[in-house]
């Protein structure tokens, strides 16, 4: 038996080690010696358009996944709509979903009900974070100390032309993102800059 583990951090600067260690410890305690298939994204939870999540979904559809383990449920999604649709689809396929930090198995009706509350909390936290950021930016603008993100800013040391060259070699946006160690949204922005 293999266990699928999904890990997500919001930016390429964040480290997924803590999530990996917690998941590994849970698997070692419950299923010693079981192989883990890792799916790791460095993308926002606002959308399901993430390369490793797409790979996980592909494996789910192919019938290769029986159990998915996450550190927290909000690693899957930060929206109620996407999160519940995904969870319900997995449950309908007989896939068990476990959150190790929340110590919850989301299989069955009660699991779905708890998940709907947790996805709602995650979405609310995301909106609150955006509101605080907007208030902070407005205050900085009022004081005259906010100049915004510099137009065309990229991750240190990355030339957007590299993204174009990789695209010309036939790489997908997801593959380019992995190659450059940036998010897919950054790749899209780089490709627009060099057009």
Report, as residue numbers or ranges, the catalytic residues.
10
Query: What is the distance between the alpha carbons of residues 6 and 13, in angstroms, rounded to a whole number?
Result: 18
CB 182 within 8 A of CB 174: no
Give the closest residue to 14 by CA, choosing from 38, 49, 45.
45
Q: Give the whole-angstrom CA distance, residue 43 versus residue 51.
A: 9
35-42 and 2-9: which strand pairing? parallel
Cα–Cα distance, 93 to 97 (Å, whole number)? 11
Q: Is 19 exposed, middle or buried (0-12, 13-18, 19+ CB in 10 A)?
A: buried
Q: Let me know: does 99 contact 73? Beta carbons within 8 Å.
A: yes
| Cβ within 8 Å of residue 125, ≥6 positions away | 74, 78
């Amino acid at each position: 038996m293999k266990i699928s583990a999904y890990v997500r951090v919001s930016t390429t600067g964040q480290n997924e080690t803590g999530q990996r260690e917690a998941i590994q410890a849970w698997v070692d305690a419950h299923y010693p010696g079981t192989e883990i298939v890792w799916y790791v994204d460095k993308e926002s939870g606002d959308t399901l358009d993430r390369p490793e999540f797409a790979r996980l979904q592909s494996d789910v559809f192919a019938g290769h996944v029986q159990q998915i383990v996450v550190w927290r449920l909000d690693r899957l999604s930060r929206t109620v709509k996407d999160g519940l649709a995904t969870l319900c689809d997995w449950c309908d396929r007989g896939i068990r979903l476990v959150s190790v930090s929340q110590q919850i198995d989301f299989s069955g009706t009660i699991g779905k009900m708890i998940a709907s509350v947790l996805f709602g909390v995650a979405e609310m936290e995301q909106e609150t974070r955006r509101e605080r950021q907007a208030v902070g930016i407005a205050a900085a603008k009022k004081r005259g100390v906010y100049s915004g993100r510099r137009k065309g800013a990229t991750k240190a040391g990355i030339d957007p032309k590299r993204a174009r060259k990789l695209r010309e070699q036939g790489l997908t946006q997801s593959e380019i993102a992995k190659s450059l160690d940036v998010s897919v949204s950054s790749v899209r922005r780089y490709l627009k800059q060099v057009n």
